[in-house]
Amino acid sequence: MSAYGGDSLTVVELRNWFLKTLNASIGVMEIPSRKSLEALAQEMVGRSRLVALATERASVEESEEAA
């Protein structure tokens, strides 16, 4: 991630965006430790409560349709 530049303010802004937009929490020191933006994105999707809720909802709907 360090190859993309940025500073500590950028990291804090990015963390806040993840929290507000994805309802996913990450530590400030965790963001620059990711090897790529793709790795960071995958991590945040995995942590997102919104993604988890959408997945659960889709599973319930599939079960109801099958019944």
CA 25 to CA 65: how far, in whole Å? 34
Residue 35: the pLDDT is: 87
Give the burial string for 48-59 (b: 16+ CB within 10 Å, else e): beeeeeeeeeee
Low pLDDT (below 70) residues in the chain: 1-4
Supply the pLDDT for residue 41: 92
| 3 in Cβ contact with 36 (< 8 Å) | no
Give the model's pLDDT for residue 61: 86
